[in-house]
Amino acid sequence: MDWCESIADRRIREAIEAGAFDNLPHHGKPIRIENNPFEDSAEWMAHHLLRVNGFAPPWIEEAKEIDASIARLRADLQHARSRPAHDHREWRRVAEEFRQRATELNCRILTYNLKSPSTHFHMRTLAIELEIAALS
């Protein structure tokens, strides 16, 4: 089988070098694949309607919301750390607020992980103390 693969690879490489693929339609654009071979056929219509109308399954929407919340949380912590601190009490208050928000977010992440259809889509929880220590 290796000799067949090497012949195919060589032919493809030669065609690329000769410019055989340069004038293909939609060159440089993503390939639109309408049918997902791994999608459950019973859920195809629901996913199709969601996709056509600009929606996604709930667990994907939730992942987007969690990602946005993580970005806001980190930006808020970075902003608080960039302000000149006159005393450490303010920083301790900000760090404690970050811990509380991050703990709530970790709960949301764990719940999301239970809803996602595969471990491939699982999200990692925040390492709260490491995040704070990085800015201290």
78 and 136 in contact (C-beta within 8 Å)?
no
Q: Indicate if 66 and 37 belong to the same structural domain.
A: no
Contact 41, 97 (CB under 8 A): no
Are 29 and 68 in a shared domain? no
- Do 26 and 75 reside in the same domain of the chain? no
Give the tens place of pLDDT for each residue, 34-60: 677 777 878 888 878 877 888 888 888
Percentage, residues of the chain above pLDDT 90? 22
**Collapsed DSSP state (helix, strand, coil) of residue 26:** coil
pLDDT of 88: 76
134's tokens: 């990085």
73-96 residue pLDDT tens: 989 888 887 777 666 788 788 888
CA distance 18 to 125: 49
Question: Same domain for 75 and 131?
Answer: yes
How many domains, the chain?
A: 2
Contact between 59 and 116 under an 8 Å Cβ cutoff? The reply is: yes
* CA distances (Å), origin 104, targets 31, 35, 78, 82: 39, 37, 19, 24
DSSP SS3 for 52: helix
Domain encompassing residue 11: 2-43
Same domain, 67 and 125: yes
